[in-house]
Each structure stands twice: as structure tokens, then as C-alpha cells.
Amino acid sequence: MDTSFFVAWMEEIATAVQAQRDHLTQLDAAIGDADHGSNLDRGFGEVRRALADSPPETPGAVLRLAGATLIRKVGGASGPLYGTAFRQMGRSLGDVSDISLAELSTALDAALAGVQKLGAAVEGDKTMVDALAPAVRALAKAVQDGVKAEDALSAVAAAAQEGAKATIPLQARKGRASYLGSRSAGHEDPGAASTALVLSALRTAGFRTW
């Protein structure tokens, strides 16, 4: 996976978020402040422009630029959380020009650690961690089992989607949704839903560039 792959991933995220902006906003309206979709749409649009204006030379540089842009341009919790995730991935990858599946797995694990440190969330808290953590485990298992890259990324996307759906019956313990108490149950967490979109975009990028 070279620089063009990671640029394609960012492009796919921007496209997917734009298409699902209203859905994400509806999810957020139920248990948050109804701006998740619009914030992410604006943020990944800015990422797309930043990559076009200053094309990075390495995969890590792509992710670090994306993360810095999201932190700078997106308000609320989503900018810092996604920004941290991508920056941690970028730092993990360093400045090598071609990334193996094992290196991607390590980077995704670094993203999870960064998100958990910033948000102090664990699985079951009804946050993006509920989608990201199972995706990290799915990729680590795929690497261990020697699964080919296309199937590995499909497993990542499926695990994130299942994790997001599993937030529906949960009561939120973090963020604005936690203020609702038991009324937060019965709704999919918007951060988990957008995380599933981001990781589905990773799979799509793979299919389109390999």
C-alpha cells in the first residue's frame, strides 16, 4: 500500500461521508447535538483540498496531514478524535513509502490507543471505540492468519459495521449522549457509525487501487 492508496482512502472517506451526511446528522440528532454529519463532511472536504494543495510523498505524511487538518477545521469531539486517530497512524507508519498489511494493523492499533487515551472510552461506552476496537482485532487476526489483503480489509469493514450496530441497545457512558441516561439506548452511536464508514472506505480504496 503506497501513498496513492492512502490518498484514495481519504477520497473515499470524503465521498462516503458526503453521501451519508444527513444520515449521520439524524443519528446525532437523536442523542447528540445534530452536527456530526455536517462537521465530518466539512472536515473531510478540507482534507481533500489539503491533499490536493500539498501532495504528501509518503503514506504516513498523508495521514498526518489528514489528522492535522481535521483537528484544525472540525469542531466538537469528532475533529480531535479523528484527527488524533489519523495522526497516530501516520506517526506509526513513519516515512516509509510502501506499507504492509502488518504495518497497517500496527498503525490502526495506534489509532485506537490514541482515541482511547483522548476520549477515555472503552468498548461498551457507546462511542466510536465500539466500531474501531473490533476492526483492529479483525485486522490483527487477518495478519496472523495470512489472509490476503482484500479479504483482510473486508473483515475490517464488517467488524466495524457489526460493532456500530451493536451500540444500538447500549446506554451511553461518554459524551453528550451520556446525559440522556437510559434514553440513549435504542439509537446507533453516530461516532461508531461514521467509524464504520471510514473503514468501509478503506476496503473500497483497496478494491479500486489493487
CA separation for the pair 103, 81 (Å, rounded): 21
Residues 107 and 142: beta-carbon distance below 8 Å = no
Tally of residues, the chain: 210
Query: The whole model's pTM is what?
Result: 0.96
User: Which amino acid is residue 40, in one-letter code?
Assistant: L
- The pLDDT confidence band at residue 208, using thresholds 50, 70 and 90, is confident
Average model confidence (pLDDT) across the chain: 96
Best mean pLDDT range from 64-78, 127-141, 164-178: 127-141
Rounded percentage of the chain residues whose pLDDT exceeds 90: 90
d(CA 210, CA 206): 6
Nearest to 199 by CA among 1, 62, 17: 17
**Does pLDDT of 177 surpass 90?**
no
- Residue 1: per-residue pLDDT: 96
> What pLDDT was estimated at residue 11?
98
Please write the tens of the pLDDT for every residue from 104-114. 999 999 999 99
Q: State mean pLDDT over 108-126.
A: 96
CB 102 within 8 A of CB 111: no
Taking the domain 3-209, which CATH number applies?
A: 1.25.40.340
pLDDT number for residue 179: 82
Phi/psi at 2 (nearest 5 deg)?
-100, -170
